[in-house]
Amino acid sequence: MVVALYVDDLIFTGSNAKLIKEFKEIMKKEFEMTDLGLMKYFLGLEVKQSDEGIFISQERYALEILKKFKMEDCNPVSTPMEPGRKLSKFDGGERANSGRFRSLVGSLRYLTSMRPDLMLSVGITSRFMEDPSYTHWKALKRILRYVRGSLSLGLFYSKLDDYRLVGYSDSDWCGDVDDQKSTSGYVFLLGNTAFTWLSKKQPIVTLSTCEAEYVAASWSVCYAVWLSNLLRHMGVIRDEGIVIRVDNKSTIELAKNPVNHGRSKHIDVRFHFIREQIREGKVELEHVESRAQAA
pLDDT tens per residue across span 212-238: 999 999 999 999 999 988 888 877 777
Which residues have a Cβ under 8 Å from the Cβ of 133 and sit 6 or more positions away? 91, 92, 93, 94, 95, 96
pLDDT value of position 92: 77
First to last CA, the chain: 31
Measure the CA–CA gap between 272 and 52, rounded to whole angstroms: 42
Give yes or no for residue 191 having a pLDDT over 70: yes
Mean pLDDT, rounded, for 204-210: 91
Residue-wise over 9-42: b if at least 16 C-beta within 10 A, else e? eeeeeeeeeeeeeeeeeeeeeeeeeeeeeebeee
Average pLDDT, the chain: 89
pLDDT tier, 47 (very low <50, low <70, confident <90, very high otherwise): very high
Domains of the chain: 2-53 (no CATH), 59-148 (no CATH), 161-292 (3.30.420.10)
CA atoms within 13 A on the CB side of 270: 7
Mean pLDDT, rounded, for 119-140: 95
pLDDT value of position 70: 95
**Beta-strand pair 165-171/154-158:** unpaired
pLDDT value of position 16: 83
CB atoms within 10 A of CB 281: 9
Mean pLDDT, rounded, for 45-58: 92
pLDDT tens track for 56-72: 999 999 999 999 999 99
DSSP secondary structure letter of residue 268 = -
